Structure 1
Amino acid sequence: MGLFDTAVNDAVPQNNFTKPLIIAAGALLLAKWLKGGSSDEAQPETQASSPAPAPAPSAQQADTSGDGGLLGGLGGLLEKFQQSGHGDVINSWIGGGQNQPIQPGQLGQVLGQDTLNNLAQKAGVNPNDLLGQLAQHLPEIINKLTPNGRLPTREELGQ
């Protein structure tokens, strides 16, 4: 079981929304890693359980150019949070200490409507329902993905 699987299983309660949340989190956080895409080519993500993750992009390398809603993995999400003025929030999820909460509306501003709609479509759920679930569980998922206070390496993701 890889780091992503472990993080999601530890952070997301088992209920009717588990599978859509895992699909959306995988598309949001692992798209570039799982596809092995470079930072200048956008590739849609098909399944959160795809084989062989590619190297994690740094925030500087992440593709945030409207690639069908995928933000370029965790590095791209970090960059989006920083650009939207919520860098302190996501940094609390990555670093040690207590995770700061994020309201669904704030997360919606970070992600943008196109990204949210694409994630909801991939997950097969209503965008507002997905946004509420992501706001509730994304802090813990990211916290579990970054146990050392930094973005995981390819090797760490595959373990």
Structure 2
Amino acid sequence: MGLFDNAVPGGNITKPLMIALGALLVGKMLSGRSAGQPDQPQTTSPSGTTPADGGLLGGLGGLLDKLKDAGHGNVADSWVGTGQNQPINANDLGSAIGPQIIHEIAQKTGMDEQELLKQLSAALPGIVDKLTPNGQLPQPHQVASAFNN
């Protein structure tokens, strides 16, 4: 994984969590196809985005905007900034992202929604911190390349 080493408590990112992070941040793995399957037409998700446009929330910037809109801007800013990362409660994260998107990601990963939120709330502070080493958001293709390593 490289970039994500030590980004989460315990340093281990499970495949379902990686799928969930990819779905939120880059749209990767949303189609449900593997490398051996032919391309299928892209479908629009319930949130109105397509997998090509930066994930279910519009990429990393969209995720941070959702957190700010839900009143968690100070938490999101701590992840991007160079100081200590503030934690986020799993329920607060779920409210910010929205139940429909959480449900969709849970279906894609095969995880229970509460377990998904628990793991995302533990992983996102470190992941966002790693993706923003200079306190600035990377371009969507840079985020996507982090998931290809």
TM (normalized to structure 1)? 0.70
Deviations 1:19-58 (A, max 9, x none): 1100000110112xx6xxxxxxxxx8337x99xxxxxxxx
Matched, 1:92 2:89: no
Deviations 1:81-116 (A, max 9, x none): 111111110110000100001011110111110011
Q: Which of 126, 133, 140 is 1:140 aligned to? A: 126
Identity of aligned residues (%): 46
What letter is aligned with 1:112? G
Find the aligned partners of 2:73 and 2:101 in 1 and give their Cα distance. Answer: 19
Tell me what 1:120 maps to. Answer: 106
Find the aligned partners of 2:109 and 2:2 in 1 and give their Cα distance. Answer: 20
> Do the aligned residues in 2 keep the contact of 1:8 with 1:22 (CA within 8 Å)?
no
Q: What is the count of residue pairs matched by the alignment? A: 127
What letter is aligned with 2:133? P
Tell me what 1:108 maps to. Answer: 94
Gap runs ≥5 in structure 2: 36-45, 50-54
Find the aligned partners of 1:10 and 1:25 in 2 and give their Cα distance. Answer: 15
Q: Which of 5, 15, 23 is 1:9 aligned to? A: 5
| Alpha-carbon offset, residue 153 of structure 1 | 2.5
TM (normalized to structure 2)? 0.74
Secondary structure, aligned partner of 2:68: helix
Gap runs ≥5 in structure 1: 35-43, 51-64
Let me know the Cα RMSD of the aligned residues: 2.6
